[in-house]
A and B are shown apart, each in its own frame.
Chain A
Amino acid sequence: MADRCLNKEELLVLQQYIRSRSATFAEPAIMLELLDHFACKVEATLAENGKLSLEEAMKQAHQSFGIKGFASLAEGFKILTIHKYKKYFTTLLHKKLCSLHTIGLLAVALLVGKVQFYLQISGMDGWTSTLRMLVMVVYAMGIFPYHRRLGRNKFASLYYEAALIAGAGQFIWFVMAQFVLIGGGAVLPVFWSSALLGIVVFGSGLHLLVYQELMKQVACDSEETAQTWQQASS
């Protein structure tokens, strides 16, 4: 059984075949994960039966991956990435909580809470609503640039999605807190309404700091994938 090594054009055909199975497999990070294993299998199939065409060998090699095809490998990679980011998110959260950032955030939260308190006791209800809106706008402005930059980058989309899933629990917590803030602000006594706003400012500020660090990691990972991809394509 003679060894058979696929050339560059044949590897491109293999990439095309993988891509044709599902759009998920076209993600560069997943393609890099799949291609070598698939190529090894195709080479072994061709070496066993030299009369087979590349298309036939690809079909046979694909069938040998089992009923789920490439999906098990792709899913495994995605889950690994999500778990990696979840771990990183928790580590960052602990790190930020033990840093000077906490003192700064507490000061800002206290200031915002106090401003809200004085606005409410002065009967300036219009301004208190503006203050709450401002908190939400600042948070959205902190998140949006990353969404624009990474969500549309083909090398980052998988990592970005994984990072969003990894941080989803915290994000849901924040949204719920905002709802409590909006609803509670109108119902609760002045002191508690202001304290609630302070807590939300602290929580969302902390989340924003961690989120930004996480997105830096996403950018770093996607940059690495882009470089590897270019290296493999050249």
Chain B
Amino acid sequence: MLLRALLLSALLVSTAAVAADAVPLAIKDHRFVPAEVKVPANTKLKLIVENQDATPEEFESHDLNREKVIAPHSKATIFIGPLKPGSYKFFGEFNQSTAQGVVIAE
């Protein structure tokens, strides 16, 4: 089944060459704004995460398998997807008590 999934997606993989849609996301006062990001399923996207705080943050998601340190007052691009429909939690590892969010692919 795994092999079939791999082969199937290898066929669909031309997406890698297609420019991905940008989805903006901000970090402000150690919170994600918006905290809920709705994105289309089965599409490759790039999250543009802008850290507006004066301290670094690490965008991390076990669900999306992503981790990226974002320096203070700077933007970072994180490619995600194509995602199967569902919800994918993410958080700021350096401020986990407040920095929580979720990507909803539908």
**Pair from one complex:** no
What is the interface of chain A, defined by CB distance below 8 A to chain B?
none
